[in-house]
Structure 1
Amino acid sequence: MFALPFFRRDLPALKGDRVTLRVPLTNDYREWSVLRGESRAFLEPWEPRWNPDELDRTAWRHRLSRYREDYAQGTAIAFFIFDKGNGKLVGGITLGNIRHGVAQSGHIGYWIGERYSGRGLMTDAVKVVTRFAFDTLRLHRIEAACIPDNARSIRVLEKAGFRREGLLRSYLRINGIWQDHYLYARIEDDPPGAETKD
């Protein structure tokens, strides 16, 4: 655990060109559960297997507790992504496995509701979190892993300035199956990504 000034309870919203990011709140449950529920078939191939109670209110409370605990320990920050134009929840992004000392690194993971994919919102969100990681958290390296068949996610990362560094064999158990993943990374002095839609 580490106590740094940016890990405080009043973490401000982060703003990009197209999205606003803020920590999840208790009253986000309904919007989150509706968006995740209607996007289930779209999301399941790229996520750990869903529990039977995945969208229940009790599971939601446990999820928020875990987010708060990770945040308090300085190991991760979960954000919800909102469309800047209409204020609707469109997805989520987490900066996790935050390490300081000699590593100064973190790992991002994200999801987006099916009806909001392909609009450039996730690319903007990844750029916003990356800037936050470098400028506020003073990290040096941000990583992301993605299944080789996930062409949309690959486009998001490459447009956000991430570079593919290799293949991680049997890296994560996704939808019940151990899957290979490409490892992507961005270093703080890498040039910014292309300004195009995902």
Structure 2
Amino acid sequence: MLSFSLFRRDTPALKGERVSLRLPTWRDYHEWVALRAESRSFLEPWEPRWAPDELDRSAWRVRLSRYKDEFIQGTALAFFIYENSSGKLVGGITLGNIRYGVAQTGHIGYWIGERYAGQGFMVDAVRLVVRHAFDTLRLHRIEAACIPDNARSVRVLEKAGFRREGLLRSYLRINGEWHDHYLYALIADDPQAVTMKA
């Protein structure tokens, strides 16, 4: 466990064979903004419409504040993904909408820089988050949704052991338009999940 002053308590840092995940800090701004800017045309078709100030330092401050609040409330964990061999930022992954009680569920969302796509980094990151969600957070179900045309995202989820459960009609407003999404899920006692557990 590593401690970052931004969050004022111990925050998880997850390490796998190829990637490591940690919560973002103020010092990550320049690397984050460079990767997001160079990957903009690659990312925009799959994300909510970018705000005019999307990459400004003021928007970064708001983003970090939201990450901090969600972490403290226990509703989300926003990780940055770093390649172990180079130490470079390759993308981000969030376990959000965390609910306990009768649900014990969370929802995974992610993005990756264009130059790092298709190299297996995201599959590794998803598996790390799933293991943390099941083993440490004691969640029972992890969900993810992706646009049917997003073949890369479909591949990531299926390689990580998620099963497609259905189609959510007009589910999320992406890049200014409402899109259907496939719903994927992984349950803690699924055989694919059991093999990921520590």
Compute the TM-score of the two structures, normalised by the length of structure 1: 0.93
Equivalent residue number for residue 83 of structure 2: 83
CA distance in 2, matches of 1:154, 1:169: 17
CA distance in 2, matches of 1:46, 1:29: 22
Give yes or no for the alignment of 1:133 onto 2:133. yes
Give yes or no for the alignment of 1:15 onto 2:19. no
Q: Secondary structure at the match of 2:169?
A: strand
CA distance in 1, matches of 2:121, 2:56: 27
Q: Secondary structure at the match of 2:11?
A: coil
Equivalent residue number for residue 104 of structure 2: 104
- Which 4+ stretches in 1 moved above 4 angstroms? none
Q: Structure 1: which 5+ residue stretches go unaligned? A: 1-6, 194-198
Equivalent residue number for residue 50 of structure 1: 50
CA distance in 2, matches of 1:9, 1:87: 24
- Aligned amino acid, residue 21 of structure 1: L
User: What does the per-residue CA deviation read over 1:79-132, in whole Å, with 9 as the maximum and x for residues that have no partner?
Assistant: 000001110000000000000011000000000000000110000000000000
- Give the C-alpha shift of residue 17 in structure 1: 1.6
Q: Secondary structure at the match of 1:192?
A: helix
CA distance in 1, matches of 2:169, 2:8: 37
- Give the C-alpha shift of residue 8 in structure 1: 7.4
Q: Percent identity over the alignment?
A: 77
- Aligned amino acid, residue 20 of structure 2: T
CA distance in 1, matches of 2:30, 2:8: 26
CA distance in 1, matches of 2:170, 2:8: 36
CA distance in 2, matches of 1:43, 1:116: 12
Q: Secondary structure at the match of 2:192?
A: coil
Aligned length: 188
- Aligned amino acid, residue 157 of structure 2: L
Equivalent residue number for residue 92 of structure 1: 92
Q: Secondary structure at the match of 2:9?
A: coil
CA distance in 1, matches of 2:53, 2:174: 18
- Aligned amino acid, residue 137 of structure 2: L
- Aligned amino acid, residue 152 of structure 1: R
Equivalent residue number for residue 68 of structure 1: 68
Q: Secondary structure at the match of 2:96?
A: strand
Q: Secondary structure at the match of 1:87?
A: coil
CA distance in 2, matches of 1:143, 1:169: 16
CA distance in 2, matches of 1:126, 1:16: 11
CA distance in 1, matches of 2:12, 2:64: 18
- Give the C-alpha shift of residue 12 in structure 1: 3.2
Equivalent residue number for residue 162 of structure 1: 162
Q: Structure 2: which 5+ residue stretches go unaligned? A: 1-6, 194-198
- Aligned amino acid, residue 124 of structure 2: D
- Aligned amino acid, residue 142 of structure 1: I
- Pick closer, same or farther for the CA change 1:163–1:8 going to 2, 3 Å: farther
Equivalent residue number for residue 149 of structure 1: 149
